[in-house]
Amino acid sequence: MASLSCSLGNWRPVVRHVDDAGPQEVAITIDDAPTVEATPGLLDLLRRFQMKATFFVSGFRAEKSLELVEAIARDGHAVYAHGWDHIRLDRAPKGRLIQDMSRCEALLAQCRPTPSPYLVRLPYNGGYRNSAVHRQLQSWMPGCQIAHWRLSTEDHAIASAQATTADIEQAAEAAVRRVLDHPGLPGAVILMHDQPVNDLPEGGVKAQASLAVMRHLVEGLAAKGMASVCLRPLAAPSFLSRFVFA
Ligand SMILES: [Zn+2]
């Protein structure tokens, strides 16, 4: 629902669809990247199916594996910041949001030029409707936009400590089927994760879940004659949109 509020003309666009999408296009977006257990396999699947994705990178992970960010950029995928630590930046002390995003982007800038306009995805999507968050993002990176999604794979719920390989495979297939059968699929921004940041250990079932979701997703899209493209910022948001949250 649209709402007027104290944004002082600083509402940033919230992107849920591919701007000017062809009927066969979607944008796969991958949060919490990169990890050594999942990222190379995700890149391999995208390469095999000739699809492009948009990676939202957590600085604390990228710092340990910058060569993976370089590999993502080299393959022609889009790379943007998901903050440094994976925390609710809208609830963090003043200044932390910009500090986290700046620190992450400074690292990413070693691997590819800083894109403009910029897209951010907030950890836990925290504060995407918060005018103070929008104002801070605008002051940090004028023209930046918030990457939301239309369809989520809910992949963070697939792996569990008790899950077997067969459980993971079945749950991943069902999760992707739900996304592929959704009438809003054409043009959709689709959310999935590298390995989601949570209490489960890295590798094992968690990496299996990410790779199974990606495999079903690219196979399913290809079977429909569809493809994933890099998420593009919205072209020329209207002047009025800065005053209205939509
Ligand atoms: Zn995240």
- pLDDT for res 225: 98
Element (H, E) at 55: strand 53-57
Closest C-alpha to 195, from 35, 73, 26? 35
- 239: CA distance to ligand 1 center in Å? 30
The predicted-structure confidence for 170-225, as pLDDT tens digits, reads as follows 999 999 999 999 999 999 999 999 999 999 999 999 999 999 999 999 999 999 99
Element (H, E) at 185: none
CATH number at residue 29: 3.20.20.370
Rg (CA), the chain: 17
- 130: CA distance to ligand 1 center in Å? 18
- pLDDT for res 190: 98
Percent of the chain surpassing pLDDT 90 = 86
pTM of the full structure: 0.94
Please state, in angstroms and rounded to a whole number, the distance separating the CA atoms of residues 104 and 127.
18
The domain total for the chain is 1
- 240: CA distance to ligand 1 center in Å? 30
Domain span at 102: 3-245
Residues (pLDDT < 50) of the chain are 1-2
- 99: CA distance to ligand 1 center in Å? 17
Q: Which residues contact 220 (CB under 8 A, 6 or more apart)?
A: 176, 177, 180
- 127: CA distance to ligand 1 center in Å? 13
- pLDDT for res 1: 45
